[in-house]
Amino acid sequence: MSKVEFSPSLMTMDLDKFKEQITFLNDHVGSYHIDIMDGHFVPNITLSPWFIEEVRKISSLPMSAHLMVTDPTFWVDQLIAIKCEWICMHAEVLNGLAFRLIDKIHDAGLKAGVVLNPETPVSAIGPYIDLIDKVTIMTVDPGFAGQRFLGSTLDKIVELRALRDKYDYSYVIEMDGSSGRKTFERIDQAGPDIYVIGRSGLFGLDEDIAISWQTMIKDYFDKTGKELK
């Protein structure tokens, strides 16, 4: 990817202003990040395929589902049924399932992603790295908003860029966790293609989503010298 993309994490939006915030963001972002948690892989229970269908009533942007679940097959089948554009599964629960689920997602004309927890090395996805469309690096412990940023995880983004260049892989690289004014500079140096942006970087900056967006744009420029639309 030649241009950085910001993907808002809708788990962290103000649900009292659901329509207002989505309508505004439709003109400014390239996709939405949907966290689906089952209460087992992580303690929380959050969004669902139903939520994706609700967003689609007012948005035509691609949806990226991040499955923090112990039974990915159950959720993959549901997301295929509603044609969720990106289905991203945790590497930690894919042993024995990876090839089957990646093929199933691709056969449905959708894109398959894999997510790595902070403790999980890039080597864990080596057997199928050439098949996936996106790799998401968790820069926080998963399952809660507002977790401590783990700077050492950025090394995996650098590693993934090097592998992609060397072997001509086609995946995009996404980072997820605590991106904002305090971390933009370090993240930019690692070079992900997609920033998942949540409360600290966007939704928590102001009650007015337009002001929050402009503040985020300024923060990003101040820390990186790069402009976003």
Q: Is 176 annotated as a binding residue?
A: yes
Name every residue whose Cβ is closer than 8 Å to that of residue 207 and which is 6 or more positions away in sequence. 14
Determine if residue 177 is labeled as part of a ligand binding site: yes
Q: Is 66 annotated as a binding residue?
A: yes
Residue 35 bears catalytic tag: yes
Q: Which of 38, 176, 188, 193 is catalytic?
A: 176
**Is position 28 annotated in a ligand binding site?**
no
What distance in Å separates the CA atoms of residue 219 and residue 225, rounded to the nearest whole number? Answer: 10
Q: Is 30 exposed, middle or buried (0-12, 13-18, 19+ CB in 10 A)?
A: middle
Could you write out the DSSP letters of every residue in 77-97? HHHHHTT-SEEEEEGGG-TTT
- How distant, in Å, are the alpha carbons of 53, 161, 199, 217, 218 from that of 225? 37, 21, 22, 11, 10
Write down the catalytic residue from 35, 38, 188, 193: 35
Backbone angles phi, psi at 204, to 5 degrees: -95, 5
41 is in an annotated binding site: no
DSSP-derived pairing of the beta strands 86-90 and 111-116: parallel
Q: Which residues of 73-99 are buried (b: 16+ CB within 10 A; e: fewer)?
A: eebbebbbeeebbbbbbbbbbbeeebe
Catalytic residues: 35, 176
What residues are designated binding site? 33, 35, 66, 143-146, 176-178
What residues are designated binding site for substrate? 66, 143-146, 176-178
What residues are designated binding site for a divalent metal cation? 33, 35, 66, 176
